[in-house]
Amino acid sequence: MGNSSYDGIILIDKEEGKTSFEVVKAIRRLLKVKKVGHAGTLDPFATGLLIILLGQGTKLSNYLMAGEKAYEAIMRLGVETDTQDLTGRVVNRCLVPEFEPTFIRKVALRFVGEIEQVPPLFSAVNYRGKRAYELARKGIKMDLQKRRVKVHSLAITSIDLPNVTMKVTCSRGTYMRSLAADLGKELGPGAHLKSLRRLCSGPFTVKDALSLETVEHLSRNRLIPQSIIPLHEALPEMKQAEVDSAMAQRIRNGHQPGCEEVAMVNLPRSFEGYMKLVEEKGLVAIAKVQPLLENKASLKIMRVFN
């Protein structure tokens, strides 16, 4: 059933109205791959970049999700909803003053940097062993804890009251719905997220993504392999070290190599963090480099790829 050439990732431009899981299901059906996942959920109303993981690419999930995200969002001032987006029930309406653009931009800057956010009640956050949205649908009261996230930049790109369009780059775990709701409160009349488009995730951009329709067309014509980013190219920002085929086999058989067994020639002496171990062009493993005493480092294999 599976196809070894389908180990890697494929970039999808998700359309509005589909859940991330529905996209995964469609890709599984179209490419006839058993193991399919995604790196970072997009709400059904949102569009844009969804990184789909194929075969052994599912092992890359955590590393891919750690990257910075970029979004274009439109918030609607004066209307608050229980879901903090346009799909929810209206819980509050308020008149929107004729704000000066400079005032909106000034208030928006308060949300740049490390901020605290309460996740939306209608989110996949775990609350006492259940998904928050499951409890929210039943009307069960929750006290979700604040989380620290980082907003690297927030630019207001157009104002057509009551709508405000912004471009945001942020860390993993930032809820754009919460950001819109909090910014709306700070401005006064409250707000909800009217539309959301993910432009980038880590090094990947929606400009390089395919629609499901295109994937269907390519798979029918057996052209899909050229659209799949192979495992060794799926983490382009991660440092890498070469191993020979004998060492690659030993690692795949469970060997934990020392730093001296791996060609770490291009890495600075003080390097710590994750790196790829590659043999020719194949990804063998992801390892973690940890500094030890006396200028020595240790290597720990985290994930192995066949």
pLDDT tens for 145-155 read: 899 999 999 99
End-to-end Cα separation, the chain, in angstroms? 17
43 is catalytic: yes
Residue spans of alpha helices (H) in the chain: 20-31, 61-65, 101-108, 132-137, 176-187, 212-220, 245-252
Non-local CB neighbours of 250 within 8 Å, separated by 6+ positions: 257
* pLDDT value at residue 266: 67
CA separation for the pair 254, 245 (Å, rounded)? 14
* pLDDT value at residue 137: 80
Q: What is the mean pLDDT of each run of 10 residues along the chain (306 residues)?
A: 70 96 96 94 95 97 95 98 94 97 97 92 77 78 88 98 98 94 97 98 97 94 91 94 93 90 73 90 92 74 95
CA separation for the pair 255, 245 (Å, rounded)? 13
Is 135 strand, coil or helix? helix
CA separation for the pair 97, 60 (Å, rounded)? 47
Residue 265, both tokens: 């020639």
Cis previous bond, 162, omega within 30: yes
- Selecting among 7, 43, 85, 182, the annotated active-site residue is 43
C-alpha 258, offset from chain centre: 32
How does pLDDT run across 273-283, given as a tens digit for each residue? 899 999 988 99
Of the candidates 16, 53, 60, which has an alpha carbon nearest to the alpha carbon of residue 37?
53
Domains of the chain, each with CATH number or no CATH: 4-67+203-232 (3.30.2350.10), 69-201 (3.30.2350.10), 239-304 (2.30.130.10)
**Amino acid at position 83, single letter:** T
